[in-house]
Structure 1
């Protein structure tokens, strides 16, 4: 039996990373959820927003790489009123179910706590059950949802807040 591919996680952005994050989202969400090209464009636009506001003391990325390619990603983005947003949480299929997502979320929460944010939130869509389960395990709770056609398919956009952040 072949052992699973090795991976590493880094917390720095390198040239080419933003494009890879957008492409990863475009490919995975197209294949697995029938999202259209508009979703990849949305990710590209919002990554530019992140880059322009990037502050290494307030923001952090987690880039998962294996054999020189990006296979996962998540970031914490600072927002007004000392809030943090969780964005772009993704892992390609062959890296799921190995505890990598839990590790990323635990590291995200650790940085969140260490940075003394007062609150956190994220947006997601219906049908991402494994991710939602992980978010809820980490203390996020669904606050609202609304029907949407934003990404070329009918879905429910969902808003989650970190209700009981784990304090140090």
Structure 2
């Protein structure tokens, strides 16, 4: 009887446009659950993400705004949005990579996709807002040419945090 060999198939990561049923809700739910579990943030963060997602879903210009989902073996594991801040500035929003997919390059692929889209849409600059302490995200932003331009102490999501504005020229 031949021996059965167990072999692990290489996991397939892909970035696809947001737009399948359930994508919008997944973005909100994943952010709410993940940031509560990892950072003890309250539901005000989930509400902020819901507003960002709702605004995008209700009214966005496909030529100037886009969003993507990262999938690992067909399961949603990440997301990012590129929205219009001004006529010349895009804004990267709601980057997330689920813990099950970290280390597979999803964050880098999502940010790269967003930056490339912003360039092709004619923006001159791209910005993002985050908080101090999200080390993995900061490394990804720095690797893609973003620079920290402003820090602001504030109380958000049930905690005292340092808000950060990052920017890069396109």
TM-score, normalisation: structure 1: 0.88
1:144-164 deviation line (CA, Å, top 9, x unaligned):
1111221011211111111x4
- 5 Å-filtered alignment, 1:37-48, equals 37-48=43-54
CA drift of 1:3 comes to: 5.1
* Greater Cα radius of gyration, structure 1 or 2: 2
Matched, 1:76 2:82: yes
2:114 aligns to what?
Answer: 108
Q: Aligned residue pairs: how many?
A: 164
Alignment gaps of 5+ in structure 2: 1-6
**Contact 2:79/2:95, CA 8 A, preserved across alignment:** yes
Match of 2:156 among 150, 159, 162: 150
CA drift of 1:53 comes to: 2.9
Change (3 A) 1:35 1:60: same
RMSD: 1.8
Match of 1:133 among 113, 123, 139: 139
TM-score, normalisation: structure 2: 0.87
